Structure formats: structure tokens, C-alpha cells
Amino acid sequence: MNNYSKTELHPFDPFLPGNAQLFMLGSFPPAKNRWSMEFYYPNIQNDMWRIMGIIFKKDKNYFISTDKKQFDKDKIISFLIKTEIALSDMAKIIIRHKENASDKFLEIIDQADIRSQLFKLPKCKAVVTTGQKATETFCSIMNISEPKVGQYCSFLFMNKNLKFYRMPSSSRAYPKPIEEKAKIYEQMFREIGMI
């Protein structure tokens, strides 16, 4: 057994503002030595907050601190509340088989209770997953088919019809330029009516 084959408990609480219209789900944060802040999508090399900057602020560096070494957590949280976005991850406990954030080397030992988290978001219109493992896990929990990247399917939750979007990963390992990823995410926000 190598040093990385050990269980890890998810380090962040779900971020569930009661006004959220969109619930975004990843798989699990990278190892702590890759964090630039203590919040979702913490790796400075991950482009999620750059994608949001492009779409909502017309500036891919909007959420990056002045020292360029970390994301501005306070600015991100303020944005999420104002924009009505909730965040969580599909895994509660994982084994990381290699020292990286690749879904390929993550084994989910215990899933997060996504149903109870979604129940706390009465205004939610859509759920989005941002990676393959998150998508597969969500589809398994909700017993729905996986949509193609950039597309959605509908599902019923608590007698309410919600959209489920499969978005491209914000990891730079996913082979698509950030501008193309931003266009796909922007289309989703437009379809939901959030921009």
C-alpha cells in the first residue's frame, strides 16, 4: 500500500445558501498541499473561478488575489450568494490512490447525502456536475441517464422537475480551452435564466 492509499474525509461543509437556484457538484477536493484557499475548487491551477470570472465579470482573473497565488475566498462566497449558487461534492470519504486530483485515481468509499442537501435548496432549478466521477455518481443516486457534456436531462425530485447538466471539467487536464468551457457554462446559465 502506498502513502496515498488511505481514506480522506471531505474537508469542507456543503455550501448551501437557501436562495440557490443552481447546485454545482464536483467529486472531491485535491490534496491539501494543492490548495490556495479553504473552499471548493481550491487549486490555483483549476479554472472554475476563472470560468465564473469570464462569464459574470468579463475578467478571468476577477477571483484571483492581488498576489496571483490564491483565489479570493471572500469574493467568491459573496459572488455565490448573490448569484444564487450552491456547492458540494459527491464523495464524503475517498481513497486517493495517487497524489493528484484525477477522478481516475479516486475511489469513493462513502457518498455525500446529496438528496438531503438538495432538499435544503427549495428554489433550486438545476443541478450540474463538473466531472465524470461526479456525473456517474449523481446519475446512480438519482437513477437517471447521463447527458452528453454541455447538455442536460430532466429529473423529478420532491415532485419538482429539475434540470441536470453535465458540464466540462474545470481541470486543465480536460482538453478544452478555457474560453470554450466558459461558453458552455454560460449557455447553461442562460438556459436556467441566471444571466
Q: Give the pLDDT of residue 57.
A: 97
CA-to-CA dists, residue 76 to 69, 81, 101, 111, 186, angstroms: 15, 9, 21, 26, 17
Residue type, 73: K
Nearest alpha-carbon partner for 10 in 36, 32, 33, 43: 32
pLDDT of residue 1: 43
pLDDT of res. 174? 81
Residue ranges in the chain whose pLDDT is less than 50? 1-3
- DSSP structure string for 156-170: EETTEEEEEEEPPP-
Tens-place pLDDT, residues 102-128: 667 678 899 999 999 999 999 999 999
Rounded to an integer, what distance in angstroms lies between the CA atom of residue 68 and that of residue 170? 18
pLDDT at 172: 86
Give, for 70, the enclosing helix (H) or strand (E). none
> For the segment 77-89, what is each residue's pLDDT rounded down to a tens digit?
999 999 999 999 9
Question: Checking phi first, is residue 193 left (phi over 0); if not, alpha (psi -120 to 50) or beta?
Answer: left
Torsion over CA: 158, 40, 17, 91 (sign): positive
Structural domains of the chain, ranges and CATH numbers in brackets: 10-87+113-192 (3.40.470.10)
Phi, psi of 105, deg, nearest 5: -110, 15
